[in-house]
Chains A and B, each alone.
Chain A
Amino acid sequence: MKKFTQEAGVVLPLNRANVDTDFIIPKQFLKSIKRTGFGVNLFDEHRYLDKGEPDADNSGRPLNPDFVMNQPRYAGARVLLARDNFGCGSSREHAPWALDDYGFRAILAPSFADIFFNNCFKNGLLPIVLDKAVIDALFNEVEATPGYELSVDLAAQEVRKPNGETIAFEVDQFRKHCLLHGLDDIGLTLEDSAAISAFETTWREKSPWYFTLSN
């Protein structure tokens, strides 16, 4: 997994509650059997004026000038500022893949949907929960200041503003450890193979009816 230590960059404000994973990456792009290449179709239905198709050339497509991401001042954004319940809906991991592929490294919101939140960590993308008041203030500052950047320091658990102020955030310690070191979950779990096998043996004796799937 990709490491996350410290990241800084332009902030894109997406002022909308309940952004669902269909919004982040529409279903037609889920037909891919690859993990990469979703960045050009991130927020596709809002970013472009026409309907996107998988494997198509996106370079000539008409951009939606009203969508915040298309404003030149937010080009190359690395930090996404979002509203409540970000990432709700389908479990598609294509959503964090698309955000990551586009270049986002951290997402700041008052709340996230559970599955999406979890999926972010598996892909080296850091979702950060901050108080609604703090998020409100950030929206105001970002919108008022072209080129507004934030820096995110995972080890220190701090978001740093351009004026040097810092905002502390909480993160699960195990997830922090995995992100900081880019650890692979499966490798870690397999270190507990013996415990899994022992559990399985006992469980099979106790509940054999869960072990009878065959054609």
Chain B
Amino acid sequence: MVISMSSKTLYDKIWDAHLVTQREDGTALIYIDRHLIHEVTSPQAFEGLRLAGRAPWRADANFATPDHNIPTTKAERDAGIDGIKDPISKIQVTTLDDNCREFGILEMSMDDIRQGIVHVVGPEQGATLPGMTIVCGDSHTSTHGALGALAHGIGTSEVEHVLATQTLMAKKAKNMLVRVDGTLQRGVTAKDIVLAIIGEIGTAGGTGYTIEFGGDAIMALSVEGRMTVCNMAIEAGARAGLIAVDQATIDYIEGRPFAPKGEVWERAVEAWRDLHTDEGAVFDKTVTLDAATIEPQVTWGTSPEMVVSVNGFIPDPQQEQDESRRESITQSLSYMGLAGGTAIKDIQLDCIFIGSCTNSRIEDLREAAKVVAGQKVASTIELAMVVPGSGLVKQQAEAEGLDKVFIEAGLEWREPGCSMCLAMNADQLGDGKHCASTSNRNFEGRQGFGGRTHLVSPAMAAAAAIHGRFVDVRDL
């Protein structure tokens, strides 16, 4: 073959650079540069360390912040740790504080302005850097791939393994390229791209692969938009999503608190310039989408692959030939309380959630604010809330006056955390209620027992808040 052995994908490059040992059966030991920690998946791992009498291999590779259980109303947050009313949640958060203190791990704790959703805080602080290997006991760790880092979720046993050894036992995944070419229509965003990709390849389409997102529509996205895309790689079945490093990546990182400075910065940037797939490198699978044909997306079912254009209709299970798919559609529609054949625009909404590690960064809030400015939330909407991804995002939004725009329109302006993305705190979607949500999972019960989630972009959620139902943001 003419294809030179030196042609590598971006994934190959980062993998090879971190290979400590390779066994004959394909299992490898990979060095981990950054380990992100939150309160839910770490307590049992720290306990394991203690029981085995082990210390962290390199405490300064770890970075922690509580997010899942954190309350989001101002009154609760002002009360500090006592503001967490659920005693079990409170124990989890204090356990994280205690573990970080005991093991000497850097934590942006609840009362720190830098606290927030771990996947928002990492890049924001410059703790996420190109070319790193990053893991976290959280499947949306894929987010960090937007900066050209190899990042993926791990389980709690692996959290303990990384703490103790600074490595992960892993097998290399296959390479997939998802290329989105062309130009997006006005009003169509990164969220619509990734939902369209999942609609195309399915929630298991990326299983066993690391997905590199490329093409001019991807590279034209801001770094924050790229994070939205990589965030949902896991919803396409891939543990990791990746995007090449370009000038936008470097500009995004420069000057962030933990980013390198001075002469080290110059050297780092030079090394990062190589973080792209080489010409001639081979992917095991390639999928191509045309950006111009992507419309604003809305999910109608209980899996992110159950998605159509805002102008589309819910599929009729009767029309589905494949028996297991028919069964899935029927189960989903029964849970969602929707009938096949219904127009997406006819779904009555009760609740709006703008937040989560998918869409809670400053650009997401700006987009949503632009749509609601000077308007009022529909009277049929019971609860509309905006939850910034971190304390610093919140501060920035307030400096720009976005909080006032939301509040005047009738949306609640909350404190940072995961909130109703998974409803581990008090922010829960009511039984049977339909919610337009900028989060990433529409699973049964995800946002609250019996809650019905429709995944959309921030602009689409904002427009839905005003109209009480889905409207095409391109018409506004």
Given A27-B422, A190-B164, CB of A122 within 8 Å of CB of B40: no
**In the complex, which residues of chain B have a beta carbon less than 8 angstroms from the beta carbon of A113?**
204, 207, 237
Q: Does the CB pair B446–A22 fall under 8 Å?
A: yes
Which one of A73-81, A88-96, A149-157 contacts B?
A88-96
CB-CB contacts below 8 Å: A158-215 with B: 172-174, 185-186, 189-190, 192-193, 195-196, 199-200, 203, 207-215
Residue numbers in A under 8 Å from B173 (CB-CB): 114
User: Which among B2-10, B153-161, B179-187, B465-473 touches the partner chain?
Assistant: B153-161
Please name the residue on chain B nearest to A188 by beta carbon: B169
**Are A210 and B129 within 8 A (Cβ)?**
yes
Question: Which residues of A are found within 8 Å of B33, using beta-carbon distances?
Answer: 210
User: Which residues of chain A (6-56) have a CB below 8 Å from chain B?
Assistant: 15-18, 20, 22-23, 26-28, 30-35, 45, 51, 54-55
A114 touches B27 (CB 8 A): no
Q: How large is the interface on B (under 10, 10 to 19, 20 to 34, 35 or more residues)?
A: 35 or more
Bound form: Cα–Cα A16–B68 in Å: 28
Take A185-B161, A196-B31 as given contacts and tell me if A28 and B424 are in contact as well, using a CB distance cutoff of 8 Å.
Answer: yes
A153 to chain B, nearest CB (A): 21
Once the chains bind, are A23 and B444 in contact (CB under 8 Å)? yes
A118 pairs with B155, CB closer than 8 A: yes
The answer on a CB contact under 8 Å between B203 and A22 is: no
Whether the Cβ atoms of B158 and A31 lie closer than 8 Å is no
Given A114-B239, A209-B129, A196 and B165 contact (CB-CB distance below 8 Å): yes
State whether A114 touches B41 (Cβ < 8 A): no
CB-based contact B203/A209 at 8 Å: no
Whether the Cβ atoms of A192 and B21 lie closer than 8 Å is: yes
- Residue-wise, chain B 51-70 has the 8 Å CB interface mask toward A (1 for contact) of 01010011011110000110
B61 and A213: CB pair below 8 A? yes
Contact A22 B444 (CB under 8 A): yes
Q: How many residues of A contact B (CB 8 A)?
A: 61
Q: Are B25 and A211 in contact (CB under 8 A)?
A: no
Note all chain A residues with C-beta closer than 8 A to B69: 31
Task: Determine if A134 is an interface residue (Cβ-Cβ < 8 Å).
Answer: no
B167 within 8 A of A: yes
Query: Complex Cα distance A88/B424, Å?
Result: 19
In the complex, residue of chain B having the shortest beta-carbon distance to the beta carbon of A54: B88
Closest to B90 in A: A31
CB distance from B127 to the nearest CB of A (A): 6
CB-nearest residue of chain B to A45: B445
Asked whether A90 lies within 8 Å of B86 as measured between CB atoms, the reply is no
In angstroms, Cα B46 to Cα A34, docked, is 11
Beta-carbon nearest neighbor of A36 in chain B: B44
**Contact indicator A189/B158 (Cβ below 8 Å):** no
Chain B contacts for A51, CB-based, 8 A: 449
8 Å CB contact of A200 from B63, B154, B164, B166: B166
Question: Do the beta carbons of B153 and A91 come within 8 Å of each other?
Answer: yes
Please tell me if the beta carbons of B25 and A173 are within 8 angstroms of each other in the complex.
yes
Q: Is the CB of A172 within 8 A of B171?
A: yes
A208 nearest CB across to chain B (Å)? 6
State whether B106 touches A215 (Cβ < 8 A).
yes
Known contacts A31-B424, A45-B449: A214-B444 contact under CB 8 Å: no
The closest CB in chain B to the CB of A214 belongs to B60
Q: Is A105 an interface residue (CB 8 A)?
A: no
Question: Among the listed A26, A32, A185, A212, which residue makes an inter-chain contact with B157, where contact means beta carbons less than 8 Å apart?
Answer: A185
Q: For B52, give the chain A residue with the smallest CB separation.
A: A186
| Cross-chain contact B207 with A91 (CB below 8 angstroms) | no
Interface segment among B188-196, B260-268, B403-411: the answer is B260-268
Q: Is the CB of A22 within 8 A of B207?
A: no
A166 → chain B closest CB, angstroms: 24
Query: Which residues of B sit under 8 angstroms from A214, Cβ to Cβ?
Result: 60, 106
- Whether B444 lies near A93 (C-beta < 8 A) is no
Residues of chain A contacted by B152 (CB below 8 angstroms): 115
Q: What separation, in Å, do the CA atoms of A27 and B418 have in the docked complex?
A: 12
CB distance from A95 to the nearest CB of B (A): 9
* Contact in complex: B91, A33 (CB < 8 Å): yes
Tell me if A18 and B303 are in contact (CB < 8 A).
yes
CB-CB under 8 A from A208, the residues of chain B are 260, 264
B342 to chain A: closest CB distance in Å? Answer: 22
B40 touches A30 (CB 8 A): yes
Check B423 for interface membership: any CB of A closer than 8 A.
yes
Pairs across A and B, CB under 8 Å, 9 listed:
A33-B43, A34-B44, A92-B155, A114-B237, A174-B23, A189-B29, A189-B169, A199-B20, A210-B129
Return the 3 tightest CB-CB contacts between A and B, nearest first.
A122-B157, A33-B43, A119-B155
| New A-B contacts (14) at CB < 8 Å, excluding given A34-B44, A119-B157, A209-B265 | A16-B328, A16-B331, A33-B95, A45-B444, A88-B237, A90-B139, A90-B441, A111-B207, A192-B20, A199-B20, A199-B31, A207-B131, A208-B260, A210-B33
